[in-house]
Amino acid sequence: MSRAFELARAVRGTTSPNPAVGAVIARGSRIVGEGATQPPGGAHAEAMALRQAGDLAHGATMYVTLEPCDHYGRTPPCTEAIIESGITRVVVAVGDPDLRVSGRGLEQLREAGIEVSLGDGAAEGAAHYEAYVHHRRTGRPFVTAKFAASLDGRIASTSGDSRWISGPQTLRWAHQNRPLFDAMLVGVETIIVDNPQLTARPEGWSGPVPQPLRVILDSRGRTPLESRVLEHTSSSPTLIATTSAASAEWSEALASRRVNVARLPADENGRVSLASLLDLLAREHGVVSLLVEGGGEVLGSFFDQRLINKVTAVVAPMIIGGDAQTAVRGRGAERMRDVLRLTHMSVERLGADLLVTGYPGNPEHELDVRIRPAGQADVDAVDQLLASQIIERPLKCEELLTEARAGDVVIWLATSHGSRTDVQGKAQPFEDVLGVAAVKFATDRASIPCLAVRPDAPASVAERLRDSCEASASGRDAQWLTLTTSTTIGLSEEQYRSSGYRYYRRDADGSDVLIKRLHA
Amino acid sequence: MSRAFELARAVRGTTSPNPAVGAVIARGSRIVGEGATQPPGGAHAEAMALRQAGDLAHGATMYVTLEPCDHYGRTPPCTEAIIESGITRVVVAVGDPDLRVSGRGLEQLREAGIEVSLGDGAAEGAAHYEAYVHHRRTGRPFVTAKFAASLDGRIASTSGDSRWISGPQTLRWAHQNRPLFDAMLVGVETIIVDNPQLTARPEGWSGPVPQPLRVILDSRGRTPLESRVLEHTSSSPTLIATTSAASAEWSEALASRRVNVARLPADENGRVSLASLLDLLAREHGVVSLLVEGGGEVLGSFFDQRLINKVTAVVAPMIIGGDAQTAVRGRGAERMRDVLRLTHMSVERLGADLLVTGYPGNPEHELDVRIRPAGQADVDAVDQLLASQIIERPLKCEELLTEARAGDVVIWLATSHGSRTDVQGKAQPFEDVLGVAAVKFATDRASIPCLAVRPDAPASVAERLRDSCEASASGRDAQWLTLTTSTTIGLSEEQYRSSGYRYYRRDADGSDVLIKRLHA
Ligand SMILES: [Zn+2]
Ligand SMILES: [Zn+2]
């Protein structure tokens, strides 16, 4: 299967809108046929491998990176060819997310008596097909943001000089990376300031380099006619996305140079609607994967609109400071809870630079959050949590720890669990504390003297902690549960009221005490 | 020796201005005595170990992390005690940079007939004593800058919310890290906005935590009297560095709270002179290591004045964007050649965050630059270098590669060499191309059709390439060497003229052609 992926990787960037597939036919340990997806209209990987294997396919096993197709497109279905060849076993890494295929290819093979197994190489397949899967599910390109910044987030010196933030190995990597994308996008400011060619010039690439479609975001039609990005448009096509604000003369001059000018709807700021652009790229240009290279305003707009599916950031070992330009601008995140967090982050070195890769993740959906009582073993961790100011206003909680040890207080922890890949590539399990709450028992009633969650915790964490406090108070037969709004962080007074808490009295320090009847 | 360093590390933060030393006395594989430096005025590591070993020291070997002292300070010299004990062999990791000691401790021991060896554990020693060595050589504290920023360099959301950029593991690390410093510094803005305690509250620390001196940079005397940093000044002393601009009432109010107010000279912007502050900290407070934690203006000022000796930056996996605050401000680097580059960069993970550590390095002094002719094996690399736009205006150079293959052109490369630690901690050798120059031979004269260096290359690289071009032209008996200023990047016309090049003629494209006589 790893050989099949090798074959598939070698054709990345040449197959869209079809997926890059690799197929290997083996008899025991002997490979009798290999193939990879040909450019659109050409043969599929399975057909290529079968052609090479000929009669040797009879009784052999096929390893294929993606579920074989079962429908007539520009080529006949691969399932038919496999069945006819006499292959007796098919090993598939990833099921096809394409609704025309999904599961039916495997079914068809099984019905013909072929032994089918799915999932060998699934992890490798998930990475290899991330763009394809996204595209098939959403109808839009998979968008990767790329930028290179200093350790303090700058992309140029204060005078605007940007050569070179990243080192030679990173520049080489960038040219190796570009041909893997169907299209790459920059803003017109980048064209005006840097006048780049926007072509892929990788080292040691065998055969002609697949050139991504060059896309320029240019709402008002300011791309200079002498820009280098407008040259060589036959080998490296260029599309300028603009709005009705661009002049007719300008777009005619471009059309005469075989540059594709797309007039798209404008958003409320008069800028090209990015959603319309993504739809257009997928629909009319077969773009499955798009690389957004900048500048800062363009990246900011994509991030603001949550249109980025992957981030590749190069961190260069330098400090620039001052008011030098930053890598991502746009509107930005107003509150910490709006910040775009990355998951599945990995890091590698490119010479002296770091390449950091991650995927925007919604922590609410991604996190495995659990609520559990804090045990004796957690006292230090809770202590530390409070002392480290991860939780705001912790002071009122401190004394509770002593009482918790005596049994008059139960402390609940909200924790998130998972595993992270360390720099050696090994998975390391972790438990992070997201929040803490305490219930204190008195003769006839209980109180929540403290409930606090980290500001970056998912919204449901505070509610789940409150639920657990209520449950433990009920368990001790308390009739009423009280709390002071000033010592619970994460739920508003309104949220308490809407779940049955009522105004009770004003506390000594002026904050409101709420009460809820637990047993009717 | 590794046990000796363990002992030394355990007392870091408690010994300044003395170095943290560990000593182990062994007979074969059996340890008979161990010791580490006691707080100032107490015994040195060697004395502690000798005390434990007693008569067993006779004929034993002492492993000690730093050269033993040979002078009377607050304790008698360790060399005497070692000689008296009957120790027959001393193994030392690092020689003492203190001029009162340097080499004389070892000499003294050798004269007494003790076998002395130096350098076992030198690498570990260099890291352990980096602050001490800097302090002894310069008389100033070793300054470490620390900040935590998003992947796009932000330290808060656009509304100013900074809780929490870094994750819980990073916050834990920060508290473990602080006690290793003699002092930590923030600006008054941080005090006003965040009101931090600025104490070290590490998890699982055995014994009382050594609290760094808290230093506030407050040029105009704005620290509020109710700030948390002004509490607990007996266990955790506080010093406010200000200028004559601060009011007398304010400083009297602080003095009555046992806060040390130091009025220092102002710089041309009316701010506390940082150089004066560093001198004061070293001279009057025994500060060997200082941690500067922010905010952005404070870090920027330290970076602008090149007063940072080490950078520890936490990169959090998030994108914030907009006009959110950045980690390092100040005046900043105007040109790319002014940018502060970090060498010896290492990276580790703290939960989901990355901890990046590096040392500001002047590439001119740090780089091992070599000039060598490009061979057949380099053609691809040079091609790539030119195509990748690492060198500006490369187009005129391209055709030269063909001629180089034919022998009519010699291409010189400037390369830098070294090794970098990869993420697995292994040293990886590298060669980076910094510049390229070509000499083209005609019948009676030679020309330099292209000379170009990366803008971030040390200033001497262009000169060294020119020297090599001249040398190879002389070698072929050319009488004259010409060049067009528009195709050589890295040396100005003035620099050429001052080394013998004269105006010759105007080229077709309007640029000047210079000529130099090679043989008189
Ligand atoms: Zn197919
Ligand atoms: Zn000593």
CB pair distance less than 8 Å for B319 and A328: yes
- Between these two residues, A454 and B135, which has the higher pLDDT value? B135
The H or E element spanning position B410 is strand B409-421
Residues B178 and B311 in one domain: yes
B12 and B34 assigned to the same domain? yes
Q: Give the burial class of B141: count Cβ atoms within 10 A of its Cβ; 0-12 exposed, 13-18 middle, 19 or more buried.
A: buried
Report the pLDDT value the prediction gives residue A139, as an integer from 0 to 100: 85
Active site residue A46: yes
Q: What does the DSSP assignment read for B222-249?
A: ---TT-GGGSSTTTS-EEEEE-TTS-HH
Q: Do A455 and B347 touch (CB under 8 A)?
A: no
Instruction: Report the CATH number that the domain containing residue B122 is assigned in CATH.
Output: 3.40.140.10
Q: What tokens were used for A435?
A: 């929040």
B267 lies in the same domain as B123: no
Q: State residue A276's pLDDT score.
A: 94
Give contacts of A392 with chain B, Cβ < 8 Å.
163
Q: What is the whole-number distance in angstroms between the Cα of residue B44 and the centre of ligand 2?
A: 5
Q: Are residues B303 and B167 in the same domain?
A: yes
Q: How far is A194 from chain B (nearest CA, A)?
A: 11
Q: What's the mean pLDDT in B434-450? A: 85
Overall average pLDDT of the B312-331 stretch = 95
Residues A422-443 have a mean pLDDT of 70
CA distance B189 to B198: 14
Both tokens assigned to A26? 């083996």
Whole-angstrom distance, CA of residue B405 vs CA of residue A116: 56
Domain termination residue (choose one: A82, A104, A133): A133
Chain B CA closest to residue A195: B389
- Burial (CB count <10 Å: 0-12, 13-18, 19+), residue A430: middle
Do B337 and A345 form a contact (C-beta atoms < 8 A)?
no
Contact B348 A162 (CB under 8 A): no
Cβ atoms of A306 and A35 within 8 Å: the answer is: no
Q: Is A288 helix (H, G, I), strand (E, B) or coil?
A: coil
Whether residue B218 has pLDDT greater than 80: yes
Q: Is the peptide bond before B77 cis (omega within 30 degrees of 0)?
A: no
Residues B22 and B20: their CA atoms lie apart, in Å, by 7
pLDDT at residue B288 greater than cutoff 60? yes
- The rounded Å distance from CA A259 to ligand 2 centre is 77
Active-site annotation holder among A6, A34, A46, A348: A46
- Probe site for chain B from A339, A342, A343, A350 (most B CB atoms < 10 A): A339
Mean pLDDT of chain A: 86
Which ligand approaches the C-alpha of residue B46 most closely? 2
Q: How far is B509 from chain A (nearest CA, A)?
A: 19
pLDDT band at B189 (very low <50, low <70, confident <90, very high): very high
Q: Is the pLDDT of residue B426 over 80?
A: no
Closest-CA distance of chain A to residue B293, Å: 14
Q: Which of A146, A150, A152 is the mutation pick for testing B, counting most B CBs within 10 A?
A: A152
Asked if the model's pLDDT at residue A361 lies above 50, the reply is yes
**Angle at alpha carbon of residue A285, lines to A281 and A286, rounded to 5°:** 95
Q: If you measure CA to CA, which chain A residue comes closest to B151?
A: A153
How far is the C-alpha of A216 from the C-alpha of A191, rounded, in Å? 8
Phi, psi dihedrals of residue A290, rounded to the nearest 5°: -125, 135
Q: Which of A326, A277, A328, A272 is nearest to A300 (CA)?
A: A328
Residue B201 lies in a domain: yes
Residue B258 amino acid letter = R
Chain-chain contact of A317 with B358 (C-beta, under 8 angstroms): yes
* CB-defined contacts A:B, below 8 A: 265
Average pLDDT over residues A221-230: 94
Cβ partners under 8 Å of residue A111, min gap 6: none
Side chain identity, residue A449? P
pLDDT at A363 over 60: no
Q: Are residues B148 and B220 in the same domain?
A: yes
Scanning A178-295, the segments in alpha helix (DSSP H) are 188-194, 248-255, 274-285
Q: Which ligand is nearest to the CA of A70?
A: 1
**Measured distance CA(B247)–CA(B249) in Å, rounded:** 6
A173 neighbourhood in chain B, CB within 8 Å: none
Question: Measured between CB atoms, which of A152, A345, A351 is closest to B432?
Answer: A351
With a CB cutoff of 8 Å and minimum separation 6, the contacts of A252 are none
Mean pLDDT to the nearest integer, A487-515: 82
Give the residue-averaged pLDDT of A191-202. Answer: 88
The alpha carbon of residue A510 and the mean position of all alpha carbons in its chain are separated, in whole angstroms, by 46
What is the least distance, in Å, from the CA of A57 to any CA of chain B?
Answer: 41
CB pair distance less than 8 Å for A352 and B300:
no
Burial of B321 from C-beta contacts in 10 A (0-12 / 13-18 / 19+)? buried
CB contact under 8 A, B161 and A331: no
Final residue in a domain of this structure, among B111, B133, B155: B133
Q: A305, A319, A357: best mutation site toward chain B, by most B Cβ within 10 Å?
A: A319
B399 pLDDT exceeds 50?
yes
Which of A159, A171, A336 is opposite residue B157, by nearest beta carbon? A336
Which residue among B34, B46, B124, B470 is the active-site one? B46
Report CA torsion sign: A376, A380, A382, A383: positive
For residue range B252-263, list pLDDT tens digits in order: 999 998 999 999
Tally of domains in chain A: 3
Lowest-confidence segment of B28-37, B109-118, B340-349 by average pLDDT: B340-349
Q: Could A152 and B154 be called an inter-chain contact, meaning their C-beta atoms sit closer than 8 Å? A: no
Please tell me the distance between residue A450's alpha carbon and the centre of ligand 1 in angstroms: 60
pLDDT grade for A423, boundaries at 50, 70 and 90 = very low
What value does the CA radius of gyration of chain B take, rounded to a whole number of Å?
Answer: 29
CA distances in angstroms from A103 to A70, B360, B491, listed in the order given:
9, 57, 65
Say which amino acid occupies A23: A
The reply to whether A105 and A180 lie within a common domain is: no
Tell me whether residues A320 and B340 touch, CB distance under 8 A. Answer: yes
Residues 6+ apart with CB under 8 A from A492: none
> B4 pLDDT exceeds 60?
yes
Same domain, A193 and A308: yes
- Which pLDDT band holds residue A388 (cuts at 50, 70, 90)? very low
Ligand nearest to the CA of A82: 1
Least confident of A138-142, A303-307, B17-21, B413-417: B413-417
Q: Is residue B372 part of a domain?
A: no
In a domain, A51, yes or no: yes
Residue A24, in any domain of the structure:
yes
Ligand 1 center to A69 CA (angstroms): 4
Tell me the C-alpha to C-alpha distance, in Å, between residue A502 and each of A471, A505, A517.
18, 9, 9
- The band of B363, judged by pLDDT with boundaries at 50, 70 and 90, is very low
To which H or E segment does residue A512 belong? strand A512-517
Which of A322, A354, A390 has the CB atom closest to B331's CB atom?
Answer: A322
Strand bridging mode B502-506 / B512-517: antiparallel
With a pLDDT cut of 90, the percent of chain A lying above it is 44
Shared domain check, B216 and B114: no
Q: Are residues B221 and B361 in the same domain?
A: yes
Q: Taking all residues of chain B, what is their mean pLDDT, rounded to a whole number?
A: 86
**Where among A78, A101, A133 does a domain terminate?**
A133
Nearest alpha carbon to residue B203 among B228, B232, B176: B176
> Is the pLDDT confidence value at B9 over 80?
yes
**Same-domain status, A117 and A155:** no
Cα A163 to Cα B337: distance, rounded to the nearest angstrom: 10
**Residue A102, pLDDT score:** 72
| Nearest-by-CA chain A residue for B147 | A152
- Mean pLDDT check: name the lowest of A117-121, A155-159, B59-63, B420-424: B420-424
* pLDDT score of B503 more than 70: yes
Question: What CATH number is attached to the domain comprising A200?
Answer: 3.40.430.10
State how far the alpha carbon of B365 is from the alpha carbons of B126, B129, B369, B457, in Å.
Answer: 19, 22, 10, 11
Distance A1 CA to ligand 1 centre (A): 17
Helix (H) or strand (E) holding B310: strand B310-316
- Stated as kind and residue range, the H or E segment containing B90 is strand B89-94
Structural domain range at position B492: 411-416+434-517
Give the pLDDT score at A367: 65
Is the same domain home to B215 and B289? Answer: yes
pLDDT of B385 higher than 60: no
Q: Over 50: is that where the pLDDT of A250 sits?
A: yes
Distance, CA A93 to ligand 1 centroid (Å)? 15
Same structural domain, A181 and A195: yes
B328 backbone dihedrals φ, ψ, rounded to 5°? -130, 120
Quick check: A321 and B329 CB within 8 A?
Answer: yes
Residues A187 and A215: beta-carbon distance below 8 Å:
no
Can you give the pLDDT at residue B383?
Answer: 63
A321, B331 Cβ separation under 8 angstroms: yes
Task: Check pLDDT > 90 for residue A112.
Answer: yes
Helix segments in B112-225, DSSP class H: 122-128, 130-138, 168-177, 188-194
Ligand 2 center to B212 CA (angstroms): 24
**Mutate which: B147, B150, B151, B426, vs A, most A CBs within 10 A:** B151
Q: Say whether B354 and A356 touch across the interface (CB within 8 A).
A: yes
Asked if B172 and A388 come within 8 Å (Cβ–Cβ), the reply is yes
Q: Residue B381 falls within a domain, yes or no? A: no
Is B468's pLDDT higher than 50?
yes
Closest residue to A164, CB basis, from B304, B381, B454: B454
Residue A424 lies in a domain: no
pLDDT digits (tens, 9 = 90+) for A86-95: 999 999 998 8
Q: How many helices (H) and strands (E) does chain A have?
A: 16, 23
Residue A421 CB partners (closer than 8 Å, separation 6+): A344, A346, A427, A428
Note whether B95 and B117 are within 8 A (CB). Answer: no
Say if B385 falls within a structural domain.
no
Distance of CA A102 to the CA centre of its chain: 23
| DSSP-assigned beta bridge partners for residue B488 | B451
pLDDT for residue A65 = 95
Q: What is the pLDDT of residue B398?
A: 55
Closest-CA residue to A371 (of A445, A296, A470): A470
**Cβ contact (<8 Å) for A388 and B423?**
no
Taking CA atoms, B34 is separated from B5, B26, B73, B77, B116, in Å, by 11, 9, 22, 18, 19
User: Lowest-pLDDT range, A373-382, B399-408, B424-433?
Assistant: B424-433
What is the pLDDT at residue A421? 46
Q: How far apart are CA A104 and CA A88, in angstroms?
A: 18
Q: What percent of chain A has pLDDT over 70?
A: 89
Is 50 exceeded by the pLDDT of residue B462?
yes
Ligand nearest to the backbone CA of B68: 2
CA distance A182 to chain B (A): 20
Question: Which residues of chain A make contact with B318, given a CB cutoff of 8 A?
Answer: 339-342
Side-by-side strand order, sheet with B61-66: B30-36, B22-27, B61-66, B89-94, B115-118
In the reported structure, the alpha carbon of residue A278 is separated from the centroid of ligand 1 by a whole-number distance in angstroms of: 26
Whether residue B322 and residue A300 make contact (CB cut-off 8 A), yes or no, is yes
pLDDT at position B392 is 47
Q: In this structure, which ligand is nearest to the CA of A42? A: 1
pLDDT value, residue B327? 95
Q: What spacing in Å lies between the alpha carbon of A132 and ligand 1's midpoint?
A: 15
Which residue carries 């009221």 as its tokens?
A: A497
Facing residue for B164 by CB, picked from A324, A348, A454: A454
Q: List CB contacts (< 8 A) between A456 and chain B.
A: 164
Instruction: Give the Cα separation of A346 and A425 in Å (integer).
Output: 9
Q: A36 with A21: CB under 8 angstroms?
A: yes
- Cβ contact (<8 Å) for A315 and B356? yes
Percent of chain B with pLDDT over 90: 44
In this predicted structure, the answer to whether residue B382 has a pLDDT above a threshold of 80 is: no
What pLDDT is attached to residue B381?
63
Q: What average pLDDT does range B180-197 have in this prediction?
A: 93
Instruction: Give the helix/strand (H/E) hosting B215.
Output: strand B213-217
Neighbours of A96 (CB within 10 A): 24
Q: Are B423 and A392 within 8 A, CB to CB?
A: no
CB atoms within 10 A of CB A208: 9
Q: Is A205 a member of any domain?
A: yes
For residue B146, give the 3-state DSSP assignment. Answer: strand
Angle at the Cα of A267 (from A266 to A269), degrees rounded to 5? 105
B148 torsion bin: left (phi>0), alpha (psi -120 to 50), beta (else): beta
Asked if residue A203 lies in contact with residue A169, where contact means CB atoms within 8 angstroms, the answer is no
The answer to whether residues A214 and A223 touch, using CB atoms and an 8 Å cutoff, is: no
**Cis peptide, bond prior to residue A173, ω within 30 of zero:** no
pLDDT, one tens digit per residue, over B165-182 is: 888 788 888 888 998 999
Q: What is the DSSP letter of B38?
A: P
Angle, CA B519 vertex, CA B513 and CA B520 arms, to 5° = 105
Q: Is the peptide bond before A17 cis (omega within 30 degrees of 0)?
A: yes
Mutation site, A211, A292, A320, interface B, largest B CB count within 10 A: A320
Q: pLDDT digits over A283-300, tens only?
A: 999 999 999 998 999 999
Q: How far apart are CA B251 and CA B125, in angstroms?
A: 42
